[in-house]
A = this chain, B = another copy of it.
């Protein structure tokens, strides 16, 4: 079952490499800017990963939810904290978020089963 996250991470890495190996400067710069947005700044990187998680959940993107959950687990958030953040997403975004909530709970479980907390 862990393989769902491994498959996602490998595909994500492979395609990102392909995109960044391409010639479109604007797209490459966007990817850099995206990475920078979650670095320590006025807010800590840890806080911003949680913002990324909630934004991904209300916009209902499972791949984005998975990516930010991996980062959040690495940053040391507990299950209770992640559930509390997901509850904000659920209230703001409504029941249409529930399928992504189910997905997120499963992803958290998968990550906790990994010795490294990473797929």
Binding site for B on A (CB under 8 A): 11-12, 15-16, 18-19, 22-24, 26-27, 29-30, 33-34, 36-38, 41-43, 47-48, 50-52, 54-56, 58-61, 63-64, 78, 80-81, 83-99, 101-102, 105-106, 109
Candidates B15, B48, B84, B99; contact of A24 at CB < 8 Å: B84
Question: In this complex, what residue of B is CB-closest to A92?
Answer: B55
B99 touches A55 (CB 8 A): no
A99 and B12 alpha carbons, distance in the complex (Å): 8
Q: Given A33-B33, A33-B91, A47-B47, 11 more contacts at CB 8 Å?
A: A22-B83, A22-B105, A34-B91, A42-B80, A52-B92, A55-B55, A55-B96, A58-B58, A60-B61, A64-B99, A92-B96
